[in-house]
Amino acid sequence: MKIVVLVKHVPDTWNERTLDLNTGWIDRTGAAVIDEINERALEVALAYQDSHDAEVVVLTMGPEQAKDSLRKALAMGADSAVHVLDPLLAGADLVRTATVLAAALRQTGFGLVIAGNESTDGRGGVIASMVAELLGVSQATNLNSVVIGVDALHGERATEAGTLTVSSVLPAVISITELSATPRFATFRNIMRAKKKPVVVMTLADLAVDTAPRADAITLAAQRTPARAAGIKIVDAGDAGTELAGFLAGKRLI
* Domains assigned to the chain: 2-207 (3.40.50.620)
Quote the pLDDT of residue 213.
59
* Alpha helices, DSSP H, located in the chain: 36-51, 67-76, 94-108, 127-135, 188-194, 240-250
What is the pTM assigned to this prediction?
0.84
With the C-alpha atoms ordered 95, 147, 42, 52, is the resulting torsion angle positive or negative?
negative
Three-state DSSP class for residue 204? coil
What pLDDT is stored for residue 215 in this prediction?
Answer: 55
pLDDT digits (tens, 9 = 90+) for 84-104: 999 989 888 899 999 999 999
**Secondary element (H or E) of residue 155:** strand 152-159
Residue ranges in the chain modelled with pLDDT below 70: 211-217
pLDDT tens digits for range 140-161: 999 999 999 999 999 999 988 8
**CA dihedral (168, 169, 172, 175) positive or negative:** positive
pLDDT of residue 223: 81
- Sorted by sequence, the CB contacts under 8 Å of residue 235 that are 6+ apart come out as none
- The pLDDT value given to residue 135: 97
* Residue 244: burial class (beta carbons within 10 Å; 0-12, 13-18, 19+): middle
Annotate 106-136 with DSSP letters as a single string: HHH--SEEEEESS-SSS----HHHHHHHHHT
Q: Tell me, what's the pLDDT at 226?
A: 84
